[in-house]
Amino acid sequence: MTIFERIILRQIPADIVFEDDELIAFRDIEPKAPVHILLVPKRHIANINELKETDTLMIGRLVLRASEIARTEGIAESGYRLVINCNRDGGQSVDHVHVHILGGRPMKWPPG
Amino acid sequence: MTIFERIILRQIPADIVFEDDELIAFRDIEPKAPVHILLVPKRHIANINELKETDTLMIGRLVLRASEIARTEGIAESGYRLVINCNRDGGQSVDHVHVHILGGRPMKWPPG
C-alpha cells in the first residue's frame, strides 16, 4: 500500500483541501512553492502508463478539478503549473497516479 | 491567432508526431530534454482555467494520448514528465492549452 492509500484511509494525517468519491487533494509535505498540492484518484493506478480508455472521464475530471483547486487557492489568475511524473526519469516517487499543483511564485523553465 | 493555430493550419512548419480530428502533437522548437513534444487541442482554449465541463472527455483523451506518445517515443518505461503551465507564474508562453511531454533524461526536482 502506498502512502497515498494510507492517507485516503486516514491511517496517516494529511492537510486535505478537497475530497469527493473519486478524488482527494492534500498539501505536499515537502512543498516546492507557496502552494503545492497533490491531487490523487482514490482508485489505485500505479502510473499514467496504466490508464485505460475507461479512465478517460476520471482523468478529465482530475484536470478540471486541479484548475478549480487553483481558483480556490487564489492562484488561478497569477498562474500555476500542473506536473504529472511517470516512472524513474519522470521523477515519480509514489507509485500511485497524482498531479502536482504548484503556484504562488513564478515557476522557472525548464521544468526540472 | 497563436503560433499553435498557425501550425494546425499548416501556415508554419512543425515536426508533427501525431494528429487526429481533436489533437495535434509536434516537437518543441526549443527542446529541454531529448524528447520534448507539445500536445495541443485543435480547438482554441486560452488556458486550463477556461476549460468547461463539456471539455472533460477531450482533456481526458489528451492525457491518455500523451502516455501513448511517450510509448511511441520509447520513453514510457524509462519515464517522462507531463507539464501544463497556466498564466504568468506557471510560465505559460502561448495562450492556447498545451501539455509538454518531456523525457529521455532524468527530470529534476523541483519542476522549475
Q: What is the CATH number of domain B3-103?
A: 3.30.428.10
Percent share of chain B, pLDDT over 70: 100
What residues does each domain of chain A span? 3-103
Most A-contacting residue of B30, B72, B80 (CB-CB within 10 A), to test interface: B80
Q: Hey, what's the cell of A57?
A: 472521464
Task: Return the SS3 of A84.
Answer: strand
- Render B27-67 in DSSP notation, one character per residue: E-SS-SSSEEEEEEESS---SGGG--GGGHHHHHHHHHHHH
The pLDDT tens digits along chain A (112 residues) read 999 999 999 999 999 999 999 999 999 999 999 999 999 999 999 999 999 999 999 999 999 999 999 999 999 999 999 999 999 999 999 999 999 999 999 999 999 9
Q: Is A98 annotated in the active site?
A: yes
The pLDDT value recorded for residue A43 is 97
Q: What is the spatial distance between Cα A100 and Cα A86, in angstroms, rounded to a whole number?
A: 12
Residue A102: closest CA among chain B residues belongs to which residue? B90
- The pLDDT-based confidence of B105 (bands split at 50, 70, 90) is very high
- Among candidate residues B36, B44, B96, B98, the one labeled active-site is B98
ipTM for the predicted complex comes to 0.98
Chain B CB within 8 Å of residue A57 CB:
yes
Pick from B76, B109, B110: which is nearest to A49 by CB? B76
- Residue A54's CB is within 10 A of a number of other CB atoms, namely 7
Per CB-CB distance under 8 Å, the chain A contacts of B70 are: 49, 86
Q: Which of residues 60-99 of A touch B (CB under 8 A)?
A: 60-61, 63-64, 66-67, 70-71, 75-92
Among B32, B56, B89, beta carbon nearest to A78:
B89
Q: Of A63, A64, A79, which has the smallest distance from its Cβ to B89's Cβ? A: A79
